[in-house]
Amino acid sequence: MFRLIGSLALSWLLGGCAAQPSRAPAFGELPQLRLAPASLGRELALQQRLQIVVGDKRETMDALLEVDAQELRLAVQALGQSALMLRWDGKTLQQQRADWLPPTLGGERVLFDLQLVFWPTQAIRAALPNNWMLQESAGQRRLLHAGVEIARVDYPAADHAELRQIHDGYLLDITSMPAGGTAP
């Protein structure tokens, strides 16, 4: 679902292990989208099952995502515990994190992943700096920096997204359903 959750899982699974070198820039160099909640253009209220795959390790987490014109709210649970809560109003990012989360996992990272997966292509493109490009084709998005693929989002079904963070070496498989309902 999001780079947030992917980042959470990656940091959690790797537990501080050194990352493999990459041709891509470090996260601090990645653009911060920080798109306003209203730029989503619709409201969301989703329950999500997140499967994070790093190498041969696989973890499952649950999340609740709500977005309206004023605010994005995200709650992530891992191992039956509250792991992360985010609130983004388009100006201020508030977060509450479990003490056991790695310090490298920040709300900015999660917000980036969420917006890459769910926000309209045009809104993302408008926020990208020079040398960054978002390509979209039927059922797929590709984020490139200077022609190098950094991330890819595949949409195999309306309720399913797969975020491949090539830059960081993880896969985030997201299955969504309306909050309190059945899959669309």
Per-residue pLDDT of 13-24, as tens digits, reads: 444 333 333 334
- Closest by Cα among 85, 120, 124 to 4: 85
Q: What pLDDT is stored for residue 72 in this prediction? A: 98
Q: Say how far apart CA 177 and CA 64 lie, in whole Å.
A: 10
Domain boundaries, the chain: 3-16+23-178
The reported pLDDT for the residue numbered 61 is: 85
Calculate the average pLDDT of the chain.
83
Query: Tens of pLDDT along the chain (184 residues)?
Result: 444 444 444 444 444 333 333 334 444 467 889 999 999 999 999 999 988 888 898 888 899 999 999 999 999 998 888 988 999 999 999 999 888 766 656 788 889 989 999 999 999 999 999 999 999 999 999 999 999 999 999 999 999 999 998 878 889 899 999 987 654 4
For residue 88, the tally of other CB atoms under 10 A from its CB is 24
With beta carbons less than 8 A apart as the criterion, state whether 172 and 163 touch. yes
**Which DSSP string do the residues of 13-78 spell out, in sequence order?**
HHTTPPPPP-SSPPGGGS------GGGG-S-EEEEEEEEEEETTEEEEEEEEEEE-SS-EEEEEEE
Reported CATH class of domain 3-16+23-178: mainly beta
Residue-wise pLDDT for 61-92, tens only, equals 899 999 999 999 999 998 888 988 999 999 99
